[in-house]
Amino acid sequence: MQPDWQARRDFMVDWQIRRRGVKDIALLEAMRRVERHCFTEEAEQDVAYEDHPLPIGHGQTLSQPYIVAYMTEQLGLTSQAKVLEIGTGCGYQTAILAELAQEVFSIEIIEPLSIEAQKRLTGMGYDNIHFKVGDGFFGWPEEAPFDACLIAAACPILPRKLIAQLTSTGRMVLPLGVWEQQLILIQPTQKGFKKKYLFAVRFVPLTGAAQKRFPH
C-alpha cells in the first residue's frame, strides 16, 4: 500500500515544526506541500519525514525538517525576495525557498548533486530557481544584491564576501564553526553588520576555498 505522504507531512509540520515555535504560516504551508520524500534516496523515503538529517550521497546530508524550517523563517522572506542559497544539495531546501521567494539563486560545488537537483526541481515545475556549479564561498556577485542568504554548510569563518552581497536590509543565516558550530543570523548595519547567535548545530563543512583555508 502506498504511504499517505500528505498525512506524514502534516504530522511533520504539526509535531516537529509548529510545536517548536515556527510560526510563519506561508512557510508551514510550503512544508506541507513540498514532497520531501521525493528528494531522498529511495532507501530513505520511508523515513523522509522523521526528525533527523538524511544522507544524500557524496558525503552530504539533507537537514532535519525543523532546521530547514527554522533557518528559512529567520530570513523573513517576502514574495518579492531574491535569495542566495549556498549548497543546493538534493534541492529540498531550495524548493522551500522557491515556494516563498520571487527568485532563488542556488550554488552547489558538487556537480552531480547540482545536475540532479536541477532535473528534479525543473521536473516539479519550479521556474524561479537559477543554478550554478561553483564555490559558494564567493557567492554570486554578478547577481547581487540579495535580500537573503541561506548557507547550508558550516563556515569556519564569517563569509564576508557573501555578507557584502546582501542588500542593506538583507538577512543571512548560517552555521558557523568547525568542530563546535553555532547557527547565527547576520544583518548588515551602517557600520558593518551585526550577528545573533541562535543555538548549537552540526552541519557538514563548507567545501572549496573555505575548507582549504581551514581544513577539518
Residues acting as catalytic residues: 63
Asked whether the beta carbons of 63 and 52 are under 8 A apart, the reply is no
Cα Rg, the chain, nearest whole Å: 16
Asked whether the beta carbons of 209 and 110 are under 8 A apart, the reply is no
Closest CA to 156 of 109, 203, 90: 203
The residues, ordered by sequence, that sit 6+ positions from 112 with a Cβ below 8 Å of its Cβ are 57, 58
Nine-digit cell at 44? 530513505
Closest CA to 206 of 157, 168, 143, 166: 157
Identify the residue whose cell numbers are 523522509. 48
Neighbouring-strand partners of residue 171: 148
Pairing of strands 82-86, 166-177: unpaired
User: Residue 15 phi/psi, 5° resolution?
Assistant: -100, -30
